[in-house]
Amino acid sequence: MGRVTRLVTVVAMGLVVLTGCQRDEQRPQAPAAAPVAQEISPGTLLAGDRIAPPKGDVVLTVSGEIGAHNQGRKLALDLASLEKMRTVRLETSEPFLKRKVTFEGVLLSDLLAVAGVPGSASKVNLAALDDYKVDFTVADVRSSQMLLATKADGKRMPVDKAGPIRIVFPDGSTLGRNPDLWIWSVSTMRLS
């Protein structure tokens, strides 16, 4: 008889939880949070535009499943090319400096669009100058405000200060909670 009583109790508790969940579904949803990144410039280099070969030092080489190329099957970008894209400003808590820093750069999702990354791509692999590697899903990149920063507190970042480009996350980002994902001195991006 004890088993039957326990079973009835478990079923009753399940019904109570299910009823509570249904009530939550009927509540009005909170409005989506406003974007944290603030647009500085709408940019002149848009998705679908031809991207000229870089005139300056290449800071990022994009390869793999991309539709835009300017160096064989790759897309080579210098800082001037990146700054022709839509640029944004983002103030966030930098986990290594342990203070707020204002970064400027290109949303990684915008870079995927300019590079012509197809819907079939699922993985973004970033590698730094020191061969440190980080992987993200394309879905995570497209749904986040992950920033490919070119400036910190209004100044370009030299290699010895995590530059010339690095990935940063807005405060509250689930991905940004892992400091291992804050890759700096990024040099290559491969889509697969």
**38-191: which CATH architecture?**
Alpha-Beta Complex (3.90)
Q: Mean pLDDT, to the nearest integer, of 51-65?
A: 97
Banded pLDDT at 2 (limits 50, 70, 90): low
pLDDT score for 36: 79
Domain boundaries, the chain: 38-191
Instruction: List the strands of the sheet with 133-137, edge to edge.
Output: 75-78, 58-64, 186-191, 123-128, 133-137
Q: Mean pLDDT, to the nearest integer, of 36-43?
A: 92
Structure tokens at 165: 């480009």
Question: Is the confidence at residue 11, as pLDDT, over 90?
Answer: no
Question: Is the confidence at residue 17, as pLDDT, over 80?
Answer: no
Q: Please give the share of the chain, as a percent, with pLDDT higher than 70.
A: 82
Question: Of 20-24, 95-99, 188-192, which range is least confident?
Answer: 20-24
Give the closest residue to 103 by CA, choosing from 173, 192, 52. Answer: 173
Give the closest residue to 176 by CA, choosing from 185, 166, 186. Answer: 166
If you search the block for the tokens 């509540």, which residue do you land on? 27
pLDDT in tens, 116-126: 999 999 999 99
**How far are the Cα atoms of 4, 10, 74, 168 from residue 107, in angstroms, in the given order?**
57, 48, 20, 10
Residues sharing a CB contact under 8 Å with residue 21, sequence separation 6 or more, in sequence order: none
pLDDT score for 35: 57
